[in-house]
Structure formats: structure tokens, C-alpha cells
Structure 1
């Protein structure tokens, strides 16, 4: 297209008037050529992207299977001081609310239960012996709060008072003549009451970390000590097996067969990555730069660990709670496993 045609085309485009056939054909050819050139340029650019440089040697990580074997809590957790105080407050509030009711609301008149109530209330001077005496009538009726450090707020003191109340009949402080005229001697004898087991066991008192009868309100985890003196969860190199199959094998090889266990789920609950200071050649000829251990969650239902015939050359074992584990394992190990463990 010459300069004259180009000028004519621009003027026609501005004016909105039709242009000649020659200018229109030339304009169409120019647009088609420009589009083809753009496509070719993009294709060529895509073809000339330099390939990503590949390393001369391939690296890999070794894969381990680990076992987080735990014993769940056996009893309820210890009460927070605020919870204990609130429980005592509710008990005293309940007693204060019950005082306006006549005792016949609870006991039928002239029944054995009514007579026992009269004797006990005369002896202990309060309806609820476990929370201390409360004077519901008089100038001091408002003073029903327990002072900080008072014996009434201690859980063990409350339990002992309840047991004492269950073992008494209300006749202990009365003269012998009154007792003999009221009931027969057999009924005066203390009735045996089954006492609850203590929350603190003998293993707690001795701090026996190998016992499962310790820290009953906490979750305990099995830790083993390897030949290098490091504390960790039982683990071994993953072979031609699944993680669940490896878990059963590691438990048997590490802690013996005298445990009834249950593998919780088919997927790991976490992993630990350890990098070597220097890469090692593995059996496949690759540079192994570290280990990745994938942990499976397991519960112990019965039995005990026994390292006598373990095949991993383990030296010792402990059953520890989460905060106790932190003091035994290495810092990097703890940082990567702590979120797998239960606080209680």
C-alpha cells in the first residue's frame, strides 16, 4: 500500500465513510499477518524456555515408622482451685435454700430415718457435715462464706467427713442409759462403709516411672532409651510393609509380646525429620540426607513393656506424661512431636 492509500484509509476511518476495495483488502491482509506473527512469536518463546537444571546426584530421605504408645487417663482430672471453690459455694447455697423447709418435707414423721436425722443434727449441728457448720438463723446467718485456707475447702477433708457421717448413728455422744433404752446394742455399732480408693497410688509416692499405676489422671506415653543414650518413641526403618504392619512389628521387637494394644487408625498422627550432617549412600545408590519418622497412635489395654529380649538394643523404658517427656528428649525432637501429645 502506497502513502496515498494509507492516508485515504485513515481519513475514511475518522469520517465513518466506506473505503475502496483495494484499501479494504490491504487492511485485512495486514491484520491477518500481524496476528500470525504474534502467534508465531509466542510459540517460539515457549519453545525456547531453558530447561530447569537438574542436580548431578539425586537425594532422598530414609523412612522410619514410629509408635506413640499411650495409656489413657484412668480417673477424672484434678479439680482446679476455682472449681473446688465453686462446688463448695453451691453446696452451701443448697443448704441455705433447704433450711426454710421443714424436715418432714424430706422424712416422714416418727420413722427410723426421721429419728436418725434428729440424732445426727443434734450431734453435728449442721445438715451437711462435709461443708462445715452454717447457722441459718440469727444475726450471723449472712456469714456463710468459707475463708481462704479453711479446712472445709479441702477435698480430702470433705471426703473424710462424709465417711464419718455415714459410719455414725448419732448415738455416740449420748449417755449409755439413753442408748440402751432407745435401741439394741447391735444397732449402736458402727456400720462398715466402703472407702473410695485414693487418687494417689503407691507408684506416685515412689515416683515409679516404669509403672502404669501412676498419674492416673494423666495420659502416659512409652519412651525407650536407645544404645546411644537418647530417649525417644520406639521406631525402626520401614521395610516392605505398611505403616500399620510396621507398628505391630516394632511393638513386638521393642517391648515384647506381653501387651494388649490397639492401633488407632491407619494414618500417622505426625512425623519427625532429622537431617544428617553429611549425606550417606543408601542401598539404591542415592544420597540419603536424613530420616523422616512417621508416628502411629497406639493404646495399651493391658500388660506391660519388657525389654529383656528386645531386638533394637534398647537400654531402658519409662511411662511419662507430656510435661515429663519434655525434660527427657532432645530439644529438636520435642519441638516436632509435642503437638501429637495430649495435655491430660
Structure 2
């Protein structure tokens, strides 16, 4: 007797007598388990006889472009945050104040050229500080040692000028002669440091690489349609890396010394055509997908006269400047590929 295929009521009627509770529960569980196993086996048998269905080829396709995010990295350290500048000024002032209790002979041997120079400079500037203004450590006004908001002593450029001025002088008055027995102090000529802002910054020359030296600049070009974007072109029986190398040489000419950072795209942008294009193969081109590779420029400059991709103009822009030039959807696709500094 196959109890798995018979219900409890049928078994009870055939046996002509009642079944105990434990036997009834066993038969019920065995019936459910046997029915589930039979159903799974039936499904497997049906699935084995279903032939695979071939998927139809899509009638709408996207063209594939390779784009290049060519950048010039920062050339100098970033500008100081106002809090950092204020903290450094505080540290310099504190160092000068802590040095006051020591006699100058702790630093300079008595009756040496360095000692004489120090006394001369102290007589002129009336303070040991060279770049943070005058300070009287002893007297009724010794407590008044705060730099007011907007004071010239807190300006970084003013501090640099005072340091250079102090390093370039010996403190000697006009017409003063050397004391007997003292050697003449030879002054070394100090060149003024190059300013952080260049002539290109003053003129806002966006075609110059000698601007925004503390920021990363990116090459932006104007295509045939008058839109600003990164250099890009359609793949021509080549991979993305090979296409990016070709685009670099054909877009800006041979006067740029560049290198591709890697072979893996750092982002992509999808552009849908307003009007679809029917291809000779019978497919419909719905838009273009551009995959961007990262590159760096070490030397040289863009020369559009040598360009073979028909670009009309170019600019070197930082991230916040680039946002103002490109289309909104384009910016959404590329913003996470760009460095903030």
C-alpha cells in the first residue's frame, strides 16, 4: 500500500476502523512531502524538454567614443586657509615671546660680527621680531600683544617683505663706519621669491598653463557644434587606449608631451540624439556613449592649427571654472572624475 498517495480518510474507510493520532500525523506529513517532491520532479522533466529561446538582436544601438581627460597637476602648494594662516602667525609670535627672557649672548658670541649686526638691527626695529611688528616685552603695555583684525602684521605678503628686508640689510646707519677690530660683514644678495599669482592670473588668460598654479587644470575644447567638452572621437577599429593616444596627437598637435595614466576608463557620458540615425546595416543609432581615459601633460601646449578633429577653441580650466562652460547633463557625468584642487 502506498500511503503517500492516499488521504487519511481513504485509509480509514478501507481499514474500517479509526487511526491513532500519531499515525495520522505521519501519513499527513508524508503525503505533503511526497507531493512536493513529485511536483519538483515534474517541473524538472518539463524544463528539460523546453528548447533554448534565442534572443533577438537589438534594433537600436549606441556609437562608442573615446574621450581624454587631460590635466595639468598643481605646481605649488595650495593657498593657506585663513585659520591656518592665523595659527602660523600665532606660533611665530609665541616663539618670539618665549625667546625674550634669554640674553642675546645665548645666541651670539660677544663682540662678533653677528653680535654687532644684531645690536644694529635692534636699534632700528626696536624689537627682536622681524616679521610680526614691534613688541615691548617689559613695561606697562606688555599685556597689549594682540594682532587686530585687518592689521598689516597679519598679512602674509607683508610678513614676507619684512623678512626679505631684514635679511638684505645689516642695520648699519648711513655713513656709519666699522668699529676697530671688527671684520666687514659681507651681505649675500637675496632674490625675491616668485609670486604665487602669475601674469596669466592677472590677465585671466585661460589658454595659458602658467595660471592657477595651486589648482589642477583640465583641457576643454570647443567641438564642431560649438559645445565645450573634453577631446573625444569615435573608435576606429581600435581599443579605448589606442583611440585616446590618437586623440591626444590629433587634437592638440605634436607639441604636447603627454602620457595616459591607465587603460581603464574613469567615467562615461551618454548622449541621446534628437533625431535617430539609420545605419547602412539596418540598425538605428540612438545616441553616443563616451568612455573617458585619464591623461597628464608634462610640457608643451595645444596647437589647434595642427588639429585634425576640427576643434575650434580650447581652454585650461579648473573644476569650478569648467562647470560654467559645459552642458548640465555633461557636467553631471564628468564632475566626479575631477579633482577639487
TM-score normalised by length of structure 2: 0.86
Q: Contact 1:129 / 1:162 at 8 angstroms: preserved in 2?
A: yes
Q: Which residue does 1:266 correspond to in 2? A: 263
User: Is the aligned partner of 1:310 residue 2:307?
Assistant: yes
CA–CA separation in structure 2 for the residues paired with 1:264 and 1:45: 54
The equivalences for 1:214-225 within 5 A come to 214-225=211-222
After TM superposition, give the deviation of residue 158 of structure 1 in Å.
0.6
Shift of 1:47: 7.7
Q: CA deviation at 1:117?
A: 0.9
Q: Give yes or no for contact 1:243–1:266 (8 Å, CA) kept in 2.
A: yes
On the 8 A contact 1:168/1:191 being kept in 2, the answer is no
Distance change >3 Å, CA 183–CA 46, structure 1 → 2: farther
Residues 73 and 217 in structure 1, CA contact (< 8 A), matched pair in contact too:
yes
Q: Does 1:241 align with 2:219?
A: no
Taking the aligned partners of 2:79 and 2:229, their CA distance within structure 1 comes to: 28
Judging changes above 3 Å, is the alpha-carbon distance between structure 1 residues 151 and 283 closer, same or farther for their aligned structure 2 residues?
farther
**In 2: Cα distance, 1:120 partner to 1:145 partner:** 23
How far residue 44 of structure 1 moved from its aligned partner, in angstroms, is 7.2
Alpha-carbon RMSD: 3.1
SS of the residue aligned with 2:305?
A: coil
User: Which moves more between the two structures, 68-77 or 106-115?
Assistant: 106-115
Q: 2:178, 2:184 within 8 Å by CA — same for their partners in 1? A: no
Measure the CA separation in 2 of the matches of 1:332 and 1:299. 25
Does residue 145 (structure 1) correspond to residue 137 (structure 2)? The answer is no
Matches within 5 A, 1:249-288: 249-288=246-285
Residue 137 of structure 1: how far off its partner (Å): 1.5
* TM-score relative to the length of structure 1: 0.85
CA shift, 1:14, in A, is 2.5
Q: How many equivalent pairs are there? A: 328
Distance 1:89 1:212 in 2: 35
Q: 1:55 to 1:278 in 2, by over 3 A?
A: farther
Q: Which residue of 2 aligns with 1:14?
A: 21
1:179-218 aligned within 5 A: 179-182=176-179, 187=184, 191-218=188-215
Is this contact kept in 2: 1:92–1:144, CA < 8 A?
Answer: no
Does 2:35 correspond to 1:38?
A: no
**Which secondary structure does the structure 2 equivalent of 1:182 belong to?**
coil
Unpaired runs of 5+ in structure 1? 18-23
**Which residue in 2 is equivalent to 1:130?**
131
